[in-house]
Amino acid sequence: MALIHGGQLQRVAKQFNIAPENWLDLSTGIAPLSYPIPSIPEQLYQVLPQPNSALETAAKGYYNTNSLLITNGSQAIIKLLPTLWHEENKHSTTVYLPEQGYKEHALAWQTAGFIVCWYQDTLPEITEIKENSVLVVINPNNPTGQLYQKATLLSYQQKLAQSNGLFVIDEAFIDVIEPAQSMANISISNSDKNTLILRSFGKFFGLAGIRIGFLIGNDDWLARFSDHLGPWQVNGPAQFIAQKALEDKHWQRQQQQTLKTLSSQLQTLLTENLPMQQITTISGTALFQTVYFKAGRDDTSLENKNIDGKKSAENYYIALCKQGVYVRLTDDKCALRFGIPKAEDFERLANALANIKN
């Protein structure tokens, strides 16, 4: 089964009969400005990708860890993980997952036969976490932007280790948060088979197309994933680009500042051009902003509230698409997630929203 994600411009362009080049695509949380592609040695296109110690050093420096595996994106790990975990712990049958969040996690665990216990913004009560279970936290969450504090996560890590469980922290969007909040730098001993951290490269560096990411875990986990994924996971040019980007502190600082400025301008634009009386919250990170539509105009019943909330978000989604502006309607259809526009695209977005409001 293929899930619907943002970034499916071809499909949406066809649906609304507007040529792909005429769209403003804000449907993903990928930075609108990307790391400039360096001049790539031609040889890297000619030979098979080699283990790249320069990239490994750069990644260990950037993520502040000693134990990582270079992968072709977090997605490959998400898909394979339930099978490998089941081999590790045959008694494990339950996974706790965020109800709102990247749905590939749920698909992978459900496909492997795990029972899903959904949680909302608040993590499941620590004392109620069952033996041998798996907890997946997306930090910060996409699309809600909810950030879990590191101290909290460390206590869950301890709990899952004690109860023979697995703690998976997906940090796809954490690059725009204070580095101290990341779990990537915790020391993972070789006996710790209970903690895995996923880092995506494509979002902050704006280069999702080159497919590269990193898994942080103990040596045994890294070796098992490496064996299962096989050789040549990441092509040579992608390795080269990622190495330069991960080393480039100056560009990273600039990117942080740009995303911070653009995302706060986006927040203002949304507040000014959306009917705020129909909106509960606008939340997110410097890589996206999510607008939650009010459950209902009149506080009659919960059922009506949900229908109205869905209607507003969906109506807005369609009205924006009709103007060639593509945003992400969340799976529950109650919210719209806006990727960060480039400075030159703000006017088009503001006009499209104003046209709907007026």
Ligand X SMILES: Cc1ncc(COP(=O)(O)O)c(C=O)c1O
Q: Least Å distance between CB 143 and ligand X?
A: 9
Q: Pick from 8, 18, 33, 75 the residue near ligand X by CB under 6 A.
A: 75
Confirm or reject binding of residue 74 to ligand X (CB under 6 A): yes
Q: Longest C-alpha distance within the chain, in Å?
A: 67
List b or e across 289-299, with b for residues whose CB sees 16 or more CB atoms inside 10 angstroms: bbbbbbbbeee
Other residues' Cβ atoms within 10 Å of the Cβ of residue 39: 7
Nearer to ligand X, 199 or 294 (CB): 199
Among 138, 183, 321, 352, binds ligand X (CB under 6 A): 138
Q: Reduced to 3 states, what is the DSSP secondary structure of residue 49?
A: coil
Binding flag, residue 225, ligand X (CB under 6 A): no
Q: Sign (positive/negative) of CA torsion 10, 14, 20, 26?
A: negative
163 makes contact with ligand X (CB under 6 A): no
Q: Is 235 in the site for ligand X (CB under 6 A)?
A: no
Among 140, 213, 339, 341, binds ligand X (CB under 6 A): 213
Choice from 92, 139, 182, 200 touching ligand X (CB under 6 A):
200
Rounded to whole angstroms, what are the CA distances from 116 to 48, 113, 133, 206, 261?
40, 9, 10, 32, 38
- Give the separation between CA 108 and CA 74, rounded to whole angstroms: 13
175: contact with ligand X by CB under 6 A: no
By CB under 6 A, residue 182 contacts ligand X: no
- Choose the binding region for ligand X from 41-49, 69-77, 117-125, 154-162 (rule: CB under 6 A): 69-77
**Which uninterrupted H or E stretch holds 219?**
helix 219-229
CB atoms within 10 A of CB 354: 12
- Would you count residue 102 as binding ligand X (CB under 6 A)? yes
Count of residues interacting with ligand X (CB under 6 A): 12
The tokens 């999510």 sit on which residue?
Answer: 290
Pick the stretch among 70-78, 189-197, 239-247, 340-348 that binds ligand X (CB under 6 A).
70-78
Whichever of 170 and 308 has its CB closer to ligand X, that residue is 170
Contact residues for ligand X, defined by CB under 6 A: 73-75, 102, 138, 142, 170, 172, 200, 202, 208, 213
